[in-house]
Structure formats: structure tokens, C-alpha cells
Amino acid sequence: CCSKGSVPVGRLWRRHAITDDPARTGFELSGGAAWTTLEQEQQFLQALDATSERLSVTEAGRTAQGRPLQVVAVGASAPADAAAVARGSSVLFTCTQHGDEPSGREACLSLARDLATTTDAATLELLRRTTVLFVPTVNPDGVAANTRQNSQGVDVNRDHLLLRTAEAQLIARLQRDLRPDVVHDLHEYGPTPGTYDRDLIALWPRNRNLDVRVHDLSRELTEQEVLPAVEAGGNSTGIYGYYYDAAGDVVAQQAGDGQERILRNTAGLRHSLGILVEASNAPADALEEANPALLNRRRVDTQVTAARATLGTVAEQRAQIADATAASAIRSALERGPVSFAGADNALPSPDQVDLDPPCGYRLSAQQAADAAGTLALQGIRTEIQPDGSVLVPAAQEARDLVHLLLDERAQEELTAGEPVDCA
């Protein structure tokens, strides 16, 4: 994937008109020669918050080193409260989970500004019906140190199930409280010349426990909307984890599995469409090698194009997406289906990794419950205190899959091994 071709009219979310004197990022002011510093980001967001009636900036936590974790919300007017956002349509962009991958952060900052200042009628209609949320810098400690991990040495994008870090906890709270219909996660990668070297690669959630419609719409968003939009802009695309030969055929898969701890998968398990996008951080030609600003601008431009394609899809398919995400949550609370503890949509688990008749819940001792309480609450998992002091975690709830993937002794990312409760 994907060959260049025509894109349906309206699929490309065009660059919006902005005000005569908009706020500018450090990256923009340098012409792409330097990335926006954390101090410049604060000044930029403060200027937008002070001048735009559509945008609000909220400090929603602090890192281990005390840096602010901020959420930017853009709507027809600055969203009043979490409940109002949760009741409506929303899209969440998570930017720079890895501190040494700067292009996604730049794309999110500039896109938030463009949405907050646009005069484009179609975009204003989108904002009237959909709140667009950004965490421009998920990992500010990593940005400060230019490291993939946060200041605790943790890869934040491997912490969305157990939630040991403040950064992952923030994303979990946003998913629990704001219930975004789409989670678009922005990253970068180092290409392998000749086989794994597309300008932008992307992937949908592959965990086998996903609701079918959520999975299929996520894949359609990736393959039929985002990647074609990037190609229409003259850039090459592919599927994350796939290695290609000279003819464009897939010859191997080295990444892109169904691990539930990765955000694109966790998002799907929490009933959101999910998409991971990764821009290449290597020069595409001699001009970019000689002038890093050209490379940096392409990295950011491909991210912006992908993000706009997601917004365009939401604008056109908002009702369909909202119906699918709501139905996914309802089915989780009402149905008892098989649970897979391994595998992916393109990789069958072994029989012993699938429970065709899973427990109806798990019983935790008082100590287990106390130790697990923070994670369970952040994941939106309901618990019931029993007369003997133990705690029952019923599987019949919206977070059904997360219950099994956190509390079953067969789980890859076991939080604590609960005692299975029979359905009798």
C-alpha cells in the first residue's frame, strides 16, 4: 500500500485560512531549521488561549520532573466541560509520546492554531459539531532530553495498559472522561533504505478483541483516507511494520502487532477508532541531505496532511463513526464473547491463548484491590466491594476487554492475577 491515484472530492482537508497576524511556532519562525522549544510552546499556547474564543489550554498534570502536561481543546467555542465533550463528537491527537520524534508535535501545534483562527466555512462546521483535542507534547521530559523515553526511562507508548507514568495516565483520563471517537497518534521512524523507507507509514489497531466495526473503520481511515491523502500530496506511503521489495510487494513484517499496551490498540479497546502515523526522519534526496530544514518541513507537512485527512473523514462520516463507537461500548457491556490473550488481526493466537468461555469477572483480595485501584479507575473499570472485604470486578461492563487483559493470569500485561468468577 498505497499506489498513487485519485482521491474522492472532499477527502483532502485543505489548508485553512488563518488570521492576518497569527501566533507562530518556533519551528515556523525558523523556516524549519529549528524545532519549537518548550518555552516557545508555552508562549505560543498562551497567545492562542488569550486571543481565540474557540481554543482553551488546560494543564492536566505534571511529569516526574514537574513539566506541565497540557490539553488543547478547539471547538465552535472553547468547550465548557468534559461532560459536554463526552456527549458529542471528538477527535484526540496525541503528539510526541517519544521525545525524540518532533514532527508530530510541530504538526499538532500548527494545526491547533489553524483550527482556532480559520475562517473556512467547512472547518467551522466541523468545529460546530466536533471538538478537536490535542496533547501537543505528551512527553515533555523526553523532549527536553531528546530521548525516546520519559525521565523515568519508560517508553510511554508501552504504558497504556498498566499506566505507570503520568504521561500515560493523562491519555487514559482523556479517553475515560472525554470518550473521543478517534485517537490519532503521531510518531516518527528511522527508515531502512530500499525496503522500509516511505515518507509516511500508518497502521490501525490490530488487537483481536476489538469490536469489528471499530476495527474496520480504523483500517478504512488508514488505508482509504489518510494514506491516499498523503500520496496525493506527492509523498510515498506504506503500512507500519511492512517491508517491501522493489515491486512494492510485502516481503516481511517486523512490527505492528496487537499488543494492548500500545495506544493505537488501547484506543480501539476503549471503543475509539485508532490510527498510528509515523513520518520518516531521514533525507529523501540530496537536497534534503544538504538542507535539513527541507527535510524537517517535509516531516511536518506529511504529519499535517495525515491529521487533516483524519479531520476530513470525521467531518464526512461523523454519524457513522459515532454510531460504531457507541455500539462497541454497549456490546462490551452486554455480550460474552471469546477473549484473545495474544495474536493480531493478521496473526492467529494458539488455542491456549484464547478463552472461548471467559470468566464473568475476577475477585481481588482487599490488598490486590488497593494496589490496583489507581489503574482500574483510570481505565474506567467498575468494581464492587463484597461483604467479606474482597472486591469483585465484573466483566459485564464497557471496559470488558481491559478487565480480562489486566486481571487474568494469562494476560501478557497482567496487573494482578484475580480469582476467576464463574458465570453460574
Residues with Cβ within 8 Å of 2's Cβ and at least 6 positions away in sequence, in order, are 223, 227, 228, 231, 237, 238
Give which of 361, 355, 358 is closest to 376, Cα–Cα: 361
Residue 80: predicted pLDDT? 61
C-alpha cell recorded at residue 162: 498498566
C-alpha 412/C-alpha 122 separation (Å) is 44
C-alpha 389/C-alpha 379 separation (Å) is 22
Q: What class, spelled out in words, does domain 26-328 have in CATH?
A: alpha beta
Cα separation values, 227 from 101, 117, 290, 292, Å: 20, 27, 28, 24
C-beta of residue 138 within 8 angstroms of C-beta of residue 149: no
Residue 251: predicted pLDDT? 95
Is pLDDT above 70 for 419?
yes
C-alpha 300/C-alpha 32 separation (Å) is 9
pTM assigned to the model? 0.94
Residues facing residue 311 across a β-bridge: none
C-alpha 244/C-alpha 253 separation (Å) is 9
Residue 158 DSSP one-character state? G
C-beta of residue 322 within 8 angstroms of C-beta of residue 238: no
State pLDDT tens for residues 73-131: 999 876 667 888 888 899 999 999 999 999 999 999 999 999 999 999 999 999 999 99
State pLDDT tens for residues 236-261: 999 999 999 999 899 999 999 999 99
C-alpha 318/C-alpha 343 separation (Å) is 30
Q: Where are the domains of the chain?
A: 26-328, 339-421
C-beta of residue 205 within 8 angstroms of C-beta of residue 267: yes
C-alpha 26/C-alpha 41 separation (Å) is 8
Give which of 349, 361, 232, 366 is closest to 302, Cα–Cα: 232
Give which of 175, 111, 165, 113 is closest to 139, Cα–Cα: 165
Is pLDDT above 50 for 6?
no
Directed axis angle between helix 292-334 and helix 400-407, to 10°?
100
State pLDDT tens for residues 34-62: 999 999 999 999 999 999 999 999 999 99
C-alpha 267/C-alpha 44 separation (Å) is 29
C-beta of residue 34 within 8 angstroms of C-beta of residue 296: no
What mean pLDDT comes out for the span 13-23?
48
C-beta of residue 182 within 8 angstroms of C-beta of residue 92: yes
Cα separation values, 389 from 383, 385, 392, 403, 406, Å: 12, 6, 10, 20, 21
Residue 84: predicted pLDDT? 84
C-beta of residue 165 within 8 angstroms of C-beta of residue 108: no
Residue 79: predicted pLDDT? 66
Confidence class of residue 1 from pLDDT cuts 50, 70 and 90? very low
The radius of gyration of the chain from alpha carbons, rounded to an integer in Å, stands at 21
Give which of 35, 61, 57 is closest to 47, Cα–Cα: 57
Higher-confidence residue of 336 and 161: namely 161
- 3-state SS string over 180-192? CCEEEEEEEECCE
Residue 331: predicted pLDDT? 95
Residue 18: predicted pLDDT? 39
C-beta of residue 228 within 8 angstroms of C-beta of residue 9: no
**What backbone phi and psi angles, to 5 degrees, belong to 236?**
-85, 150
C-alpha 160/C-alpha 172 separation (Å) is 7
State pLDDT tens for residues 307-325: 999 999 999 999 999 999 9
Task: Please report, rounded to a whole number, the percentage of residues in the chain having pLDDT higher than 90.
Answer: 89
Residues facing residue 55 across a β-bridge: 74
Which DSSP string do the residues of 82-133 spell out, in sequence order?
HHHHHHSEEEEEEE-SSTT--HHHHHHHHHHHHHHH---HHHHHHHHHEEEE
The mean pLDDT value of the chain amounts to 93
C-alpha cell recorded at residue 65: 520532573
Confidence class of residue 336 from pLDDT cuts 50, 70 and 90? confident
Chain length of the chain: 424
State pLDDT tens for residues 173-209: 999 999 999 999 999 999 999 999 999 999 999 999 9
C-alpha 331/C-alpha 327 separation (Å) is 6
What mean pLDDT comes out for the span 147-162?
98
